[in-house]
Structure 1
Amino acid sequence: MRSLISRLLFGLCAISPFAMAAPPGDLALTPVVTSGIGSPIAIRHAGDGSGRLFIAGRYGQIWIKPAGSSSVLATPFINLSGTAPFGLSISGEGGLLSMAFHPNYASNRLFYVHYTDGSGDTAVVRYTASAANPNIADTATAQVVIRIDQDSNYHKGGDLHFGPDGYLYVSLGDGAGGNGTDGCNRAQTLRPSQLAANDANHSDCPADAAFTNSGGSTRSRALLGKILRIDVNQTTAAGTNELCAANANGSANYGIPAGNPYAGTAGTAGNCDEIWAYGLRNPFRFSFDRQTGQMFIGDVGESQMEEIDMAAPGTGGVNYGWDLCEGTSGNCAGSTPPILTYTHTANAGPCASVTGGVRYRGAISGMSGTYIYADFCSGRIHFGVQNGGTWSSTQWQDGTDLLYTGFGEDEAGEVYLTEMDGDRVLRFTSSQTDVIFADGFGD
């Protein structure tokens, strides 16, 4: 048995902000599901103690991998194809993009999906799992939480997570067209009055008729290029407010947390209350450190640089710079710089597109605190480590065109990766592991 002093010293090392030890030599990506799913794009656990993994496929199905199984159940947990409110489109970068389980899922059976509807606009919808069969969700329970008008088939964002504060966070790209620029001025817009009416290169700036004719708000375009924070345990009554995605009468199936940076009278009058962070091009994937609560954002670059951004717990109102700057290139004055970047030249793939990852908190020796992320185009996997206030990264895998689409954790904190190209789910494994205490620290 270690002495009390040695245990205390080890505990201090475990929570140190400095760089962690090197990963073990036998660290590998091991396939855990190799069939039965099409175009996996996100992976989650329900936090209900079942050990199940839920794998979202871009075509609208969510599949369940039971604990201990190497395959998914034959019947999907839910199939949005043909049943999703306002339809489901996979054009461009659309489709079912993410899902999130309510923090109280074990008792209320509520979960949320983020997808592009039949017109390519964003929809976040709530569903309820069956009380009789926990492996089936009831499509009849669909309740639209929020809808946002999208300007093109590209830059949808698409991620969805409950933060450690219990609120739902939604990532949205700037909606720019295939040329990658934000001519409609979405990412730097905080209120509808700042929206560009049009641009010589962007005839798609105005809201589309399909969206407005189905009850969507033109004001919602001001939410693009952002991360939103909303309270799904509350609703908003009809009336005058600063909700930019509310119904025409001001009502909404969500509320605004009091701490949002532009809630109510906070900030300039007219700013969208839903906004948590802005200045993002395409935050396709973000995550929360399950130990510290820090938010990590993978923001896809245009032609020069990919970036990872970070925010301390409870820190809203941060401007990450797009489209005034890309990574550390451009006029970045007044914006918060990324903690990690890599150039398109260094990526050396057919293209470059960062897939934001997770900070590892599982049992593999030497990995605790490592931020794992990947590139969708090149298949390269990077490990980011913090040394004091500085972050640095190393390339762990020099992959091929594997189309890594999303990282996820199981209930124990082990990390998984979805690979769209091979319709596989992989897990980081090693024979060298630590004992993880109830507080999340290693022994």
Structure 2
Amino acid sequence: GRIFVAEKAGRIRVVQNGSVLGAPLLDISSRVNSMFDRGLLGMTLHPNFPSTPYLYVAYTYEPPEASGYSQEGSRTARISRFTVSGNSAKPSSELVLVGAGGTFDTIGSPDMHDTRPWSCEADDRTPYPDCMPADGMAHTIGMVAFGPDGALYAANGDGVVDFSGSMRAQTYESLAGKILRIDPGTGNGYTNNPFFDGDVTSNRAKVFVYGMRNPFRFDFHPETGKLFVADVGNNKWEEITIAEPGDNLGWPCYEGPEQTGISPTCGGLYTGKEHRRPTYAYPHADGRGAAIGGAFYTGDNFPARYRNAFFYGDFNASTIDVLTFADDGTPVSTPFATNAVAPVRMATGPDGALYVLFIADGTLRRIRYTGGGGDDGAPSVALAAPLPAGTPPIVTIDTPADGAAIAIGATVVLAGSAVEEDGTPVPDAQLRWEGLLRHKEHIHYDYLRATGPTAELVYEDHGDETWLEVCLIAEGSGGEGRACIELFPSADIPSETGAEATDTVGESAGAVAAAEPEVPAGSSENADDATPVDTSEASGIQQGIRREVWSNIGGDAIADLTSLAAYPSSPDMVEILTALEVSGPLADDYGERLSGYLVPPRSGIYTFWIAADDQGELWLSVDDAPERARLIATAPRWTGQRQWDKYPEQQSVPIRLTAGERYYVEVLHKEAGQKDNVAVAWEGPGLERQVITERYLAPE
């Protein structure tokens, strides 16, 4: 009955009987580099757990010698095994299976990411043995899982954010851009692996599939055992591929079905050498742009058409889709959930529910089928489990009346009862209340959960076009009966509040909080997205943002600015701007910093974008402390003015902000030549995407 949940920062929590245990099962946060997309990103248990008490993890390694260097510098990754006893695992029990060669001496540049010298490589580009590159702050280690053959499989990205080092995904000798197949006891490769060279300890002996950018998640088909890999794309395509042993998935020479044309080395693939094309690929459109490979549904709770279907998410679009196959083998992807903000892991539970982990708000959500639905493709009456025979009980809600108008902030007392067909009362313990909040076209589940004949809820405002649907459900001898009512607000009071989230486990580094997954009616159990807050101090005009400029700087990278002796103390010009935007053409060869404080008008979830020419970075603190700022979005190369969607890195993850609080914000911009511009936009409660103006900015 336990659920093990890995936190990106390096801790593993235990959820038992619906509650998170106080002490973590394992804390290796001192060994984990969790900057940006790095961290403890993979975890699995031995198939015979707890008889074989082993826990396997995959994480970006922070060597002790790196203390004092930038956390953003190049690093390496590890796959390790720990021994579990009860609800505890000692860090000292670590056995490094892969990555022991990733020491401080082999990490490349400890202060700089995505730059030469590359991690895990000698000066002549020869890969070091047993070393997993993680030069960039993304595309690092990912999934670790047991295959149906008992081998341990692990995914590792190409380790860089730009193309310059990604060709190592095409060589068997490097562990970058690969899925490995290793012995869970030793970390060695297998003699029947596709590139075995006579030495089970060699890098190539461990390689199972290669040529990937960021194979963050994968799963095995429950019947065929085939490996389904979701590879996160670059600028154009997302890929899901059924991979065979030894397959080359084409990166960085191919992205989706298209050639990238980035290197003469790709010539062989372009002129006839075979590589495995994606089984299903979709373009970056409608906000989609980061496929999070999910899980095959193997439970009995969902309708039959979902059995053995592949559920996957898109991190950027906040969606969960289902991939199935037509009779002729054609892949068919259908929507399953929207408003599923930042999904990073999913699995079928022993109860037949689908469990999804969301990093934005650090929650584990359970999605289960409860009947209902309509004619829109949503789950309907076709249940995977048989319905009980007999007549369900008759349920009555006595108060409040259906359609009642309720004052915002008022406590609503609910009362009802149920009887069997023969008039026998249904016991109080078999009555439960469920409520959901409808907000325009969205549905917020788990607004109310209670048991017994009575319950209370506070009708909190959630903006315009909202109402509540409350149901009393009775479990009788002939099945479940229910009665439902709708409640409406008696006045429109602008706010953005809702019920507190439930089923919450763990914490996530980076942005926190998100709206709940929106799943077809009658088919999910989820949580709401915000908590009550007083926004009365969030109004009023602020004062703008501070701009500092350094002139006559060569190069087109942020590093050319930040490496100056005059930076940050001696700018050539200082002024106050009325918005987080500078538009040119103004000059060539300069760098600038825009800094100050962001004051959000309402509490809730915000998303940020940056556009810049030639390069830009957006940093945001968790509070008003500049030293706690973290990189949330980048324009890696030039964009047009307010061109928000040229690169996926331009958009931040969803971030929860509190109304009236001050958050330190900083924009770094480097201009080389031709057009120059930089701008930052946000979107949040009551705000469509727009450039951030002085109303929400303060220079000090």
Q: TM-score range by the shorter chain?
A: 0.5 to 0.7
1:328 match:
257
Of 172, 176, 193, the match for 1:224:
176
**Per-residue deviation, 1:375:** 0.8
1:64 aligns with 2:26: no
Structure 1 contact 182–323 (Cα < 8 Å) conserved: no
C-alpha contact 2:212 2:231 (8 A) present in aligned 1? yes
Distance of 2:203 and 2:133 partners within structure 1: 17
- Describe the shift of the 1:254–1:348 C-alpha distance in structure 2 as closer, same or farther (beyond 3 A): closer
Q: Aligned letter for 1:276?
A: F
1:96 to 20, 30, 40: 40
Letter aligned with residue 79 of structure 1:
D
| Among 230, 233, 236, the residue aligned to 1:298 | 230
1:309 deviates by 1.0
Say whether 1:361 aligns with 2:298. Answer: yes
Report what 1:276 is aligned to: 208
1:211 corresponds in structure 2 to: none
Measure the CA separation in 2 of the matches of 1:184 and 1:278: 12
- Rounded Cα–Cα distance in structure 1 between residues aligned with 2:349 and 2:337: 22
> What is the CA-CA distance between 1:426 and the residue it aligns to?
1.1
Of the three residues 177, 193, 199, the one matched with 1:260 is 193
Q: Match for residue 404 of structure 2?
A: none
Asked if structure 2 preserves the Cα contact closer than 8 Å seen for 1:262 and 1:271, the reply is: no
Do the aligned partners of residues 278 and 413 (structure 1) sit closer, same or farther apart at CA in structure 2, a change above 3 Å counting? farther
CA–CA separation in structure 1 for the residues paired with 2:178 and 2:364: 29
Deviations 1:92-133 (A, max 9, x none): 311110111112222120111111111531011110011xxx
Measure, in 1, the Cα distance between the counterparts of 2:198 and 2:83: 35
Residue 115 of structure 1 is aligned with which of 43, 50, 59? 59
Out of 144, 156, 163, which is 2:140 matched to?
Answer: 156
Matched, 1:391 2:323: no
Aligned to 1:317: 246
Identity %: 32
| Superposition RMSD in Å | 2.1
Q: Which has the higher contact order (CA 8 A, sep 6+)?
A: 1
Deviation at 1:424, TM superposition (A): 1.0
Gaps of 5+ in 2: 64-74, 100-131, 260-268, 372-382, 387-700
Q: What's the CA shift for 1:301? A: 0.3
Supply the distance in 2 between the matched residues of 1:77 and 1:413 (Cα, whole angstroms).
25
In 2, the alpha carbon distance for the partners of 1:309 and 1:429 equals 27
Answer yes or no: is the 8 Å Cα contact 2:298–2:348 preserved in 1. no
User: 1:396 is aligned with what amino acid?
Assistant: F
The equivalent residue for 2:394 is none
Distance 1:184 1:98 in 2: 22
SS in 2 for 1:175: coil
TM-score, with structure 1 as normaliser: 0.67
SS, match of residue 292 in structure 2? strand
- Confirm whether residue 145 of structure 1 aligns to residue 100 of structure 2: no
CA drift of 1:369 comes to: 2.2
1:136-191: CA deviations, max 9, x gaps? Answer: 112221111111232222211411001011111110101123x3x25441111113
By how many angstroms is 1:292 displaced?
2.9
| Equivalence map 1:177-188=2 (5 Å) | 177=161, 179=162, 181=163, 183-188=165-170
User: Which of these residues, 365, 369, 376, is aligned with residue 315 of structure 2?
Assistant: 376
- 1:394 Cα deviation after fit: 1.4
Give the Cα–Cα distance (whole angstroms) in 2 for the partners of residues 339 and 176 of structure 1. 25
User: In structure 1, what is the Cα distance between the partners aligned to 2:236 and 2:15?
Assistant: 38
Shift of 1:385: 0.8
Question: Are the structure 2 counterparts of residues 171 and 63 from structure 1 closer, same or farther at C-alpha, using a change threshold of 3 Å?
Answer: same
On the 8 A contact 1:296/1:358 being kept in 2, the answer is no
Using the alignment, how far apart are the partners of 1:359 and 1:182 within structure 2? Answer: 35
- 2:283 aligned with 1:337: no
Relative to its length, the structure with more strand (as a share) is 2
Q: Answer yes or no: is the 8 Å Cα contact 1:89–1:118 preserved in 2.
A: yes
Name which of structure 1's ranges 390-399 and 293-302 shifts more when overlaid on structure 2.
390-399
Contact 2:133 2:158 in 1 (8 A): no
Taking the aligned partners of 2:354 and 2:192, their CA distance within structure 1 comes to 31
1:53–1:410 CA contact under 8 A, matched in 2: no
In the alignment, the residues of structure 2 paired with residue 172 and residue 413 of structure 1 have an alpha-carbon distance, to the nearest angstrom, of 30
Gapped regions of structure 1 (runs ≥ 5): 1-50, 192-221, 234-252, 437-443
CA distance in 2, matches of 1:317, 1:116: 25
- Corresponding residue for 1:426? 365
Query: Aligned equivalents of 1:414 and 1:341: distance in 2?
Result: 27
Work out the number of aligned pairs and report it: 316
- What is the aligned counterpart of 2:82 among 109, 120, 127? 127
Show CA shifts across 1:367-407 (max 9, x none).
Answer: 1122110111120111111123221111223326x111111
SS of 1:301 mapped into structure 2: coil
- Following the alignment from structure 1 to structure 2, what is the Cα–Cα distance between the partners of residues 162 and 397? 28
Equivalent position SS for 1:318? coil
Q: Is the 8 A contact 2:352 2:368 kept in 1?
A: no
- The 1-side partners of 2:26 and 2:222 are apart by 27
CA contact (8 A) 1:157 1:285 kept: no
Aligned mates of 1:303, 1:322 — CA distance in 2: 13
Residue in structure 2 matched with residue 199 of structure 1 by the alignment? none
- Is the Cα contact below 8 Å between 1:281 and 1:301 reproduced in 2? yes
For residues 57 and 428 of structure 1, do their structure 2 counterparts lie closer, same or farther at Cα, with a shift above 3 Å needed? same
Equivalent position amino acid for 1:339 in 2: T
